[in-house]
Amino acid sequence: MNPQTAYRNLLAHVKETHLLVATSNLLDWDQEVMMPQGGGAVGFRAAQLGQLARLIHERSTDTRIGDWLAAAEADAQLTADPLSATAVNLRELRRDFDNARKIPVTLAEEFAKASAMSKHAWADARSKNDYAAFRPHLHRMIELNRQKAACWAPGSAEPWDALADKYEPNMTAAHIERLFAPLRRDLVGLVNDLLARPRKPDARFNEIKLPLEDQKRFVHYVAQQVGFDFTRGRLDTSSHPFCGGTHRDDVRMTTRFQHHMLSDSLGSTLHESGHGIYEQNLPGAEHIGTPLGEAVSLSIHESQSRLIENQVGRSKAFWRWCYPKLKEFFGSAVADLSFDDVYGAVNLVERSLIRTESDEATYSLHIMVRFELERAMIRGDLAAADLPGAWNERYKQYLGIDVPDDARGCMQDIHWSMGALGYFPTYTLGTLYAAQFFDTARQQIGDIDRQFERGEFQPLVHWLNRHIHNEGKRYRSEDLCRHVTGRPLSAEPLLNHLRSKLEDIYNRA
Amino acid sequence: MNPQTAYRNLLAHVKETHLLVATSNLLDWDQEVMMPQGGGAVGFRAAQLGQLARLIHERSTDTRIGDWLAAAEADAQLTADPLSATAVNLRELRRDFDNARKIPVTLAEEFAKASAMSKHAWADARSKNDYAAFRPHLHRMIELNRQKAACWAPGSAEPWDALADKYEPNMTAAHIERLFAPLRRDLVGLVNDLLARPRKPDARFNEIKLPLEDQKRFVHYVAQQVGFDFTRGRLDTSSHPFCGGTHRDDVRMTTRFQHHMLSDSLGSTLHESGHGIYEQNLPGAEHIGTPLGEAVSLSIHESQSRLIENQVGRSKAFWRWCYPKLKEFFGSAVADLSFDDVYGAVNLVERSLIRTESDEATYSLHIMVRFELERAMIRGDLAAADLPGAWNERYKQYLGIDVPDDARGCMQDIHWSMGALGYFPTYTLGTLYAAQFFDTARQQIGDIDRQFERGEFQPLVHWLNRHIHNEGKRYRSEDLCRHVTGRPLSAEPLLNHLRSKLEDIYNRA
C-alpha cells in the first residue's frame, strides 16, 4: 500500500471514530446536566452509551489500522521530523492501537460490565456507609485491573505502571515516588506550622450564603473575563463539576453551587475554565479528531485547570481585581468582608477529610494517600478488605485527621469504583506542572500581577495558548515541561508558591 | 429459520437501530436548544448527524431484515390476531423495509446531500427575499421527489400519493381533496362573515409585552397542569418550537418567546404539550424501540397537539381557570384586561400571511394552498419558476390577502426546502381528528367544561391515554378514528366547533 494513501485512510478512519466519541461525550454531558430525572429509569441512556462504546471499540481495534500504520511507518519521510503532525499522529495512533489490541475483547467487555455494576454498588454503599457491600466490587475491579496490566506488561514487578501509562504516558510509580517524597515531607511540615499558629484567616467568606442567581451571573462573568469563550462553549450546573463537549468549538463545562457557598462555586468555575480554555485552543481545522488536535495528557490538562484555579484565582493580584466585583454583584451581603477577609478565606488551610473540598496546601496529601494505596492494591500487597484501615491510618499520618466513617473515607471518590486505578497522581502532577509553568510565564510575560489587578488575563492566556494549548499532543508531558520551562518537573515551584503566599497571609491574619 | 427466533432477532435489530435514532434526535434537540453559536461552524455537528444517518440507513436496509420478516410472516400464528403486538410490528416493519429497499442507495444519498444544500440556500434566500436564488434548489427537490415517487409507485398518475404515504400511511390526494373541498368553502365563508362585522374582539392581550422570566414560569406551570410530566421531560426555548427527546421517559419540548407575546408562547407551549403528553404515554417496557411503541402517524400526532392547543387552550372553560392564574403571575401588567378581552384575543380571526402565526379559523386555508401547489409540482403541472405567482393568487383567493414578498410568501416554510413534499396536509388532518376526538371525549367523559374550569385536565388526558396514546401504532389513522369515534374522519366536528365558538365570541364583542 502507498504510505501516503495509508496515512490518509488512517486519519479518515480515526476522525470518523472521533465523531462517535464526541457523540458519546455529548450524551454523557446531557445525562449529567440536562436529562430529566426519570430519563434513565429503563436504562435507555445506558443502552445508548453502551452501543456507542461498542461501535468505538470495534473501530479502534479494526485490523486495517494495523495495516495502515505499518505501511505509513515504512516511509521514513513521514516521520523524519518527529514533531511534525504526521509523526505525532503515527506515534500516538500506534500506541493506542497496540494498547487496544493487547486487551482481549472478552476482558474489555467484562471490565465494562463489572465497572458499571461496581459504580452503581459504590453509589449505593456510600449513601449507606456500608463498605462491606462495596468491598467485593472493589476486589473485582482490582483483579480486572491486574489482568489488564498483565496484558500490557506481562510479569512486571510494578504492574501499576502499565495502568498509569494509559492516563499519563511514560509515568512510573518510582518516578512519582521521587517527586512525591520531598513534597509530602514539606507539605506536612508547612500545614503543621500554619495550623499551630494562634491566629488564622477569617473563614466567614467560605460560609456566607449568597443568592443562587447572583452567583450564577458572577461565575459566568468571571469565567468570561479569564478567557473562556462563551460563543464556543457553555457553563451549566451539575453535582460534580466537569468539562465536556464535542470539540474545540463546543466546550461544555459545569460548576456546582454547594451549600450556596460562593468560594466553592467560584473555585470550581475557575478550575473548569482552565480545562475549557485549553480545549478551546487546541489545534483546529484538519487536526480536529486526530491525536495532534488533542490535549497532551491528564496531568497537563489538570495543570491548566489548577493554574487558573490557584495561581490565578487564589492570588492576591486576582483578588485586587475581583474583590470590587464581588461588592458590585453581591452588595450588602458582602459589605462587612474586607479584602483580607476574602483573600484569606480562599487560602485558608484546614485538616480536611474530603479531597474535592480541600484547600491548596492539603490537596496533594489526599492524592498521596490514594497513590500509595492503589499501588499496593495493584501489587497485591493490600487487599480490598484491609483498605479502610490503611486509609484511616494514612489520613491520621499525613493530614492529622481521624476518619469518622468510610463514606467520608475510602469511599468518597468514584474513581476506584469504576476501575480507574493509576489515575489519581495526575491531579498532583498537574498541580506541580501548574506552578512550574506559571513561574516561567511570570518571567516571560513581565508584570503579571499588575495585569491581574487590572483584570487583564489575556497576556497569560495567550502565553498558555502559544506554548501549551496550540501545540496539542506534539510533546509528551515531560518533554513539554522541559521545552516550555527549560527544566524537568520538580516540586520546588509549588512549594515556593505555597510557602510565600501562605506565610504572608498567615502573618497578616 | 424458526419464526419465533426470526421475530426475536428482528426486534433486537430494530431496537438497536432505534437507539441510534434516539441519539440522532438528541443531537438535533441539542443543536436547536443548547449548542453554542460557534459549535456548528466547522460542520462538526452536521458530520455527527450524517454519520448517524448513515449507520441508521445501513441497519434499516440490512438484507437480514428481509430474511427475518419472511420467516416470521410464514408462521400464521404470529399474525393470527392482526391487532397483536407481533402482527402490528410485522406489518409496520415490512412496510418500512420495503419502502427503504425500493430507493437505491445512490438516490438516498443524493437526496440527503441536495436536501442539506437546499435547506441552507433557502435560509439564505429567505433572509434576502431572493426567490431566484432558491428556485433551482426547489426544482431539484421536486425532481428528486418525483424520482422517489417513481421508485415507490412506478407509473402512477398521482405520484404525490406515494410521497404522502411516507408521512401518513394510506392517505391519497383524492381523499384529502374530498375532505378539504367542503372545509375550504365553509372556512372561507366563516372568515368572510366574521371579518365583515363592524366589531371584533379586543386584540390588546396579543400585543402586550410581559417579562420573559414570568412568561417562562407561567408556561411551565400551565404545561404541568395540563398533564406534561416534568420528571420525564423538559421544556426549553428554541426559535421554532418542536417536541423531541429520546424515548417516552425523556421527552424534550420547546417553545418560543416571540416579541414577548404571551398568547404566542402559551399557544406554542400547549401545542407542544399535546405532542409531549402523547410521547410520554406511548406503550413502554418491551415496546420501546418497536413500531407498537410509536405514534400512529403525523396526523394523529398533530391531533393531540391541536386538541390541547385549541379544544383545550382556546376554550372558554380553560380560560375560566387560566384567567385568574394570569392575574396571579403577571399582576398589574394585565390588570386592565377583562376575561372577555383575553378569551376574545386568543380566538381573534385575521387575514394572516404567516401559517405559524395564523389563528384557528384560517390555519387550514394556509395548508390547502400548500397541498394544492405541492400536488401540482409533483405531477409536473407547476414549475418551480411559477410557484410565487400561483402562491400569491391562492392567498388572495382563500385568505383575501396580498402577499408582499416571497420571504413572507412561498418561502416562509422550511418543509419544501428540505424536500418534505406530501407533509403539509397532515397538519389539517390532525386539526380535523382533534375536533372529532374531542367531541367523542366530551360525550364519554361528561361535563368536561366544569372540569376545565376547575383546572382538572386529568379526566381528558386519561381518556386520551387510554384510547389513543397507550395504543401506540396498533391502528392506522383512519382505523383509530373509526375505533374511537365510531365514524370516519369528517370536517363537520371542526366546522361546528369553530362556528359555535366564534359566533359566540364575535356576538359578544
Series of mean pLDDT values for 10-residue runs along chain B (509 residues): 96 98 96 92 88 94 98 96 98 97 91 90 95 98 98 96 96 97 97 95 92 95 98 95 97 90 94 98 97 98 98 98 97 95 96 95 98 98 98 97 98 96 98 98 97 98 98 98 98 98 93
**What's the rounded mean pLDDT across residues A382-389?**
98
Q: Does A30 touch chain B (CB under 8 A)?
A: yes
Check: CB of residue B477 under 8 Å from CB of residue B172.
no
| Residues A38, B232: C-beta atoms closer than 8 Å | yes
Q: Would you state the pLDDT for residue A260?
A: 74
Shortest CA distance to A475 belongs to which of A489, A495, A494? A489
Q: Which of A19, A26, A35 sits opposite B47 (nearest CB)?
A: A19
Non-local (6+) Cβ contacts of B186 within 8 A are B491, B495
* Distance set, CA A488 to CA A168, A368, A467, B33 (Å): 16, 21, 16, 46
For residue B289, the SS3 value is coil
Shortest CA distance to B30 belongs to which of B209, B254, B303, B184? B254
Cell digits for A224? Answer: 468570561
Please give the angle made by the CA atoms of A123, A124 and A129, to the nearest 5 degrees.
95
Q: Which of A108-122, A424-438, B437-451 has the lowest mean pLDDT?
A: A108-122
Q: Does B52 touch chain A (CB under 8 A)?
A: yes
Q: Which of residues 177-216 of B touch A (CB under 8 A)?
A: none
Under the banding of pLDDT at 50, 70 and 90, the label for residue A508 is confident
| Residues A234, B41: C-beta atoms closer than 8 Å | no
Active site residue B272: yes
Q: Would you state the pLDDT for residue A152?
A: 97
Q: Does B38 touch chain A (CB under 8 A)?
A: yes
Quick one: closest CA in A to B286, which residue? A42
The C-alpha of A230 sits at a distance from chain B's nearest C-alpha, in angstroms, of 7
Q: Does A285 touch chain B (CB under 8 A)?
A: yes
User: What would you measure as the largest C-alpha separation in chain A, in angstroms?
Assistant: 74
Cell digits for B52? Answer: 448517524
Q: Would you state the pLDDT for residue A1?
A: 87
The answer on pLDDT for A259 being more than 80 is no
Q: Does A229 touch chain B (CB under 8 A)?
A: yes
* Start-end of H helices in B353-486: 363-379, 387-394, 425-445, 448-453, 458-467, 477-485
* DSSP string over A117-150: HHHHHHHHHHHTT-HHHHHHHHHHHHHHHHHHHH
Size of interface A-B (CB pairs under 8 A): 99
Check: CB of residue A300 under 8 Å from CB of residue A170.
no
Which strand (E) or helix (H) includes residue B257? Answer: none
| Residues A250, B288: C-beta atoms closer than 8 Å | no
Query: How many Å apart are CA B477 and CA B169, to the nearest integer?
Result: 8
Non-local (6+) Cβ contacts of B136 within 8 A are B384
User: What would you measure as the largest C-alpha separation in chain B, in angstroms?
Assistant: 74
Q: Would you state the pLDDT for residue B41?
A: 76
**pTM attached to this predicted model:** 0.95
Question: Computed over its alpha carbons, how large is the radius of gyration of chain B?
Answer: 23
* Distance set, CA A245 to CA A19, A110, A250, A285 (Å): 12, 28, 6, 17
Q: Which residues of B13-26 are buried (b: 16+ CB within 10 A; e: fewer)?
A: bbbebbbbbbbbbb
Per-residue three-class SS string for B39-60? HHCCCHHHHHHHHHHHHHHHHH
Q: Would you state the pLDDT for residue B258?
A: 82
The DSSP secondary-structure symbol of A234 reads E
Strand partners, B252: B234, B244
Under the banding of pLDDT at 50, 70 and 90, the label for residue A258 is confident
Contacts of B246 in chain A (CB under 8 A): 39, 44-45, 48
Cell digits for A426? Answer: 495526575
CB atoms within 10 A of CB A147: 15
Q: Would you state the pLDDT for residue B19?
A: 97
The C-alpha of B473 sits at a distance from chain A's nearest C-alpha, in angstroms, of 21
φ/ψ (deg, to 5) at A80? -55, -45
Q: Would you state the pLDDT for residue B42?
A: 75
For residue B233, the SS3 value is strand
Contacts of A38 in chain B (CB under 8 A): 229, 231-232, 249-250
**What's the rounded mean pLDDT across residues A184-209?**
95
* DSSP string over A327-378: HHHHGGGGTT--HHHHHHHTT-----S-GGG--TTTHHHHHHHHHHHHHHHH
Pick the residue of A20, A45, A253 with the most B CBs within 10 A to test the interface with B by mutation.
A45
Classify residue B443 as exposed, middle or buried by CB count within 10 Å of its CB (0-12, 13-18, 19+). Answer: exposed
Average pLDDT, chain A: 96
Non-local (6+) Cβ contacts of B305 within 8 A are B243, B271, B272, B273, B274, B275, B278, B430
